[in-house]
Structure 1
Amino acid sequence: MRRRSLLALVPATALLLPGCGLVSGDGGSGGRTVTVWLMKGSASQEFLDRFTEDFEGTHPGISVDLRIQEWTGVVDKVRRALAGEGEDRPDVIEVGNTQVPGYAEGGGLLDLTLESMRDWGIRDWLPGLAEPGRWQSRQYGIPWYAANRVVLYRKDLFDRAGITRPPRTRDEWLEITERLGTGGDQGIYLAGQDWYTLAGFIWEEGGELAAQRGGGTWQGALDSPAALRGMDFYRRLQALGDGPAGADEEHPPQAGVFADGGVAQIVAVPGLAGTVLRENPALQDKIGFFPVPGRRAGVPGAVFTGGSDLVVAKNTGARDAAVAVVDALAGAEWNTELARTMNYVPNRKSLADAVAGEEGVAAMAAGAARGRATPTTPGWSAVEADNPIKEYMTNVLGGADPATEARRATERVTALLEPYAS
C-alpha cells in the first residue's frame, strides 16, 4: 500500500489554528474518568500500575479506569460499545492493528488525523501499524506496539555445518538452508500454508495480496508477476524441509517440531522460543534469531506486522482526557517502557535501539522497519475466513501450474472483497 501524505488531506483552515485539535468536546480535561479497554496479556500489571500512577500524577483531574478484555468475542463487544449499545462505554480501546478499518467503517471512531500529524510523529511510525490504522485517508488507529516474524535457528546446527553467520540476502538464505539439510537434518521447517510468511515474500518482490482500484473497489493481486515471484521463492525455500504442503504452521504446532530436534530453522515470532524451551530445555542457549533476509544485503525482507493500535470512541464524553491517555501510552517514554517490559517492538522506527539488548526482539525490530499489514479494507476478514490463499499455496507446492492457481485464487479474493467497496 502506498503511503500518502496526510498533510495534503487536512483542510487548510485547520492548519491555521495553532494548538487547536479535536479536543474541544468535553470542556477541558479536568474532573474526568477515562475508561480504557486493554487486551489481556498486552501489558503486565506492574507496567499498568506504574503508568496509571504517573499519568494521574501529571494530569490532575483525570482518572484512568483500566479494564482488561479477552480477545475471544471482543470484536462484537467493541462494535456494540462504539454503537452506544449496553452499559459499557470505553473511551480508549486497544484493537488489533488490522481491525481498525472494520471499526472505522461503522463511524464509531474519533478521527485523530490532526493529532497524528502535529504531535505524534506520524512519519516515524512503523508502517505495519500506521497503514492499517488509516481508513479513507484519515488516521483512526494510533500505533502502540508491534510483533513480527523472524528466523529462529539452531546455533549448534549452523556451527556443525560450518556456517559462521546468518544469511544477509535471500539467495544466501537458500544456499545456507540447502547446506543445513545435507547432514540428515531439515534445513528449515516451513508449513505449506503459512500465508503470513508468503505475504512478506510477495511484498518483498513489490507485489500485493490485493490492490485498491478506482471507485474504492478492491481486487485480488496474487496473479501479478511480482506476487508470482514471491510464491516461487516460498516454493523453493519450503522444499528444503519436510513441512506439510496441506497444513499451516499450527498443524502440527511448529514449536513442537522445532523442539523435537533435527530442524535448523523456523519462521516465527521470537516469543515462540519460550514454548520451544519448555518442551526441550536442552536447547537453552542454542537458539538464535535473525531478521527474514531481503533481496539486498543489509536490508531485511518485508514481513507481516501484527500488534495493536489505540483508538478513541467517537461517542466518548471525555474527548480531551481520552486523547491525553493515548498521547501518553503511545508517546516515546511509555512506549519504550512497554517494549522493554514485554519484549515488543516500539511503535516508532527511531525507538528500535530501546530493545537492542535482546537478540530476538532486536531481530524483530529490524524487520519491523519494513513491516506491512494486510489490505486496509473491512472485507479482508472475509478473505481470511475463507482463505483461498492457503489452497493456492498447497496446490502450487503440489505441482500445479502457479499462474493458473494464482488466477483462480485472485478471482476468489476479488469476489470476497466485492461487497466491501468503499
Structure 2
Amino acid sequence: MKRGLIAATGVAALLVSVAACGSDDGDDNKSGADGFKGQTLTVWAMDGSTPDKWTEDVKAAFEKKTGAKLKIEIQTWNGIQPKVTTALSESNPPDVLEIGNTQTPAYARTGGLADLTDLKESIGATWTKSLNESAVFEGKQYAAPWFAVNRVVIYNKKIWAEAGLKDTPKTRTEFFQALDTIEKKTDAEPIYMPGQNWYFFDGLTIGTDANLVKKEGDKWVSNLADPKVGKAMDIYKQYQSFSKAPKNKDEATPQQAEVFAKGKTGAFIGMGWEAATAIKANPEIEKEIGYFTIPGETADKPEGVFLGGSNLAIAEGSDKKELAKEFLKIALSDKFESQLASEGGVIPNKESLQTALKGNPAAEAGAPAISQGGTTPLIPEWAAVENAPNPIKTYMTAVLNGKSHAEAAKSVEDEMNKRLSQEQ
C-alpha cells in the first residue's frame, strides 16, 4: 500500500478450500491437515489492512488447514521501509510481509523476497494485470497482488443540482463542461485542485501512455520532457483553471476534504476515505456527497489512475516457505478477497470479484478504472524521486505559473537525474 495516504483502508482475502501443497524444502516437506503442526507462521501486516473479522476468519481457516499457528504482527507505515529492509537481511525474518506495491521492486532487487512463480501459476491466472505488474521484477514473480485503491471524483450533489446538472459526466469533455456550468451558474468553486496533486497527475500520465523515466545505457534518467507528459500536464492545467486552490501546494496542505466540507466546492478528486474526513469536519455534508469514476477521453475508457495498494510477499530467508504459501493460498482466495472488498472497500485482485463492492459507492466508482490504472515507475531507484521536495511537483507548479512544458521539464531534469542515480 502506498504510504499513510491509504493505510487507513481495510483489507480482506479469500477462499478456504484449497488443496495443500507439498515441498522439497527440508522441514517443509509436509502436506495435508496437521502437516505443519507445531510450527508458527509470522505475518507482518500494516495498520488498517486486516479487519478484525477477516483476521479471525483467516486465522481459523489457516490453523484448521495446516495445523500450524498464525501470528499476525501489525506494523505502522511510518518508518516501515528501513524496518523491512533490515528484517529481510536477518537470519530470522517474518515469513510473510505486506509491502507497498511501489516498494516491491526495491525489496526484490536486494534478494530478500522469495520467487513465487509457482504460486502465480497455481492461483494467479486471473489476477488483474494492472495490479500484478508491481509484483513482478525482472520477469520474476516476487510477490502477489493483494488489493488496490484509487482516486475517484467526490462531488457535492446540492451544488450540481443548483447548476442544473442532472447526470454525472462520462467523458473528460463532459466533465469540463459541467465544471464550466457550475462556475457560471453558482457561487461555488467548481473543483478544488491544488497545483501539486501529484498522484492525480501520475494517473493522467498513465492515461496518455507517458513514461516519466527512460533508460539511457544502464541508467534511468528523466523523461519528463516527453510530449506525452506535456499532454497530461495540459489536462491537469485545464482542471486547475476551475480552481482557486494554491498552485504551489498539494492536496494535504490544506486537506482538500476539509475544504470540500465547507460546502462551497463542487468536487474534488481523491480517495474514497477522504469523504469520511469531510464528514468529520462537517456532518451536514454527508447527505450531499456523491461519487463517480474519473472520466477519460471517451466514455468507454475511464481516466488513467494511480493504483495505490499492497502486495503479499514471502521472505527469502524464511525457513517456512511452503507453509507461507499455504497462507497466501488462503489469504488470496476468492472467499477472503471478496470479504476484503466487502468489509474494507478496497479493490480485490481479480476483476471477477468486484461484485463484492456493491453497496459501497466510493469503491464502485473506483473499480471501473482499475484496468486502466498503473503506478509510478516500477524501478528501485524511483523512491528517491518522490522525496521532498519532489521535483515533479516543482515542474507542475512551474507550468501552472506560465512556463512551457519543455522549460519546466528542463528546470528539474538535473535534480531528477541526480535522484535516479541515487547521488543525493
TM over 0.5: yes
Distance in 2, matches of 1:169 and 1:358, equals 23
In the alignment, which of 89, 96, 112 is matched to residue 92 of structure 1?
A: 96
In the alignment, which of 309, 321, 330 is matched to residue 307 of structure 1?
A: 309
Does residue 44 of structure 2 align to residue 44 of structure 1?
no
3-state SS of 1:369 partner? helix
Distance in 2, matches of 1:199 and 1:294, equals 14
2:289 aligns to what?
287
- Post-superposition, which runs of at least 4 consecutive aligned residues in structure 1 deviate over 6 A? 19-22
Percent of pairs with identical residues? 33
3-state SS of 2:306 partner? strand
In the alignment, which of 110, 114, 118 is matched to residue 114 of structure 2?
A: 110
In the alignment, which of 327, 330, 338 is matched to residue 328 of structure 1?
A: 330
Unaligned runs of 5+ in 2: 1-18
The equivalences for 1:357-372 within 5 A come to: 357-372=359-374
Shift of 1:20: 12
3-state SS of 2:380 partner? coil
Does residue 401 of structure 2 align to residue 406 of structure 1?
no
3-state SS of 1:30 partner? coil
Letter of the 1:49 counterpart: E
Does residue 117 of structure 2 align to residue 83 of structure 1?
no
The alignment yields a C-alpha RMSD, in angstroms, of 1.9
Does residue 43 of structure 2 align to residue 61 of structure 1?
no
3-state SS of 2:280 partner? helix
Deviations 1:238-263 (A, max 9, x none): 01011110100011110110001210
Contact map agreement 1:289 1:363 (CA 8 A) in 2 = yes
Shift of 1:383: 0.1
Shift of 1:23: 4.0
Distance in 1, matches of 2:419 and 2:73, equals 35
The equivalences for 1:46-195 within 5 A come to: 46-57=53-64, 59-84=65-90, 89-121=93-125, 123-127=126-130, 129-182=131-184, 183-195=186-198
Letter of the 1:112 counterpart: L
Does residue 30 of structure 2 align to residue 24 of structure 1?
no
Query: TM-score, normalised to structure 1's length?
Result: 0.90
3-state SS of 2:97 partner? strand
Contact map agreement 2:206 2:373 (CA 8 A) in 1 = no
Letter of the 1:415 counterpart: K
Letter of the 1:116 counterpart: K
Unaligned runs of 5+ in 1: 1-18
Letter of the 1:130 counterpart: N
Letter of the 2:127 counterpart: D
Distance in 2, matches of 1:21 and 1:136, equals 26
Shift of 1:97: 0.8
Change (3 A) 1:340 1:391: same
Shift of 1:75: 1.3
In the alignment, which of 23, 38, 42 is matched to residue 35 of structure 1?
A: 42
Letter of the 1:173 counterpart: F
Shift of 1:171: 1.1
How many residue pairs end up in the alignment?
A: 396
Deviations 1:291-313 (A, max 9, x none): 11111113211100101100000
Change (3 A) 1:158 1:394: same
Distance in 1, matches of 2:410 and 2:106, equals 27
Change (3 A) 1:149 1:173: same
Change (3 A) 1:52 1:395: same
Distance in 2, matches of 1:314 and 1:82, equals 8
Does residue 400 of structure 2 align to residue 397 of structure 1?
yes
3-state SS of 1:379 partner? helix
3-state SS of 1:393 partner? helix
Deviations 1:64-120 (A, max 9, x none): 1111111112211111111116xx631000011111111111111001123213322
Change (3 A) 1:253 1:27: same
Distance in 2, matches of 1:22 and 1:207, equals 44
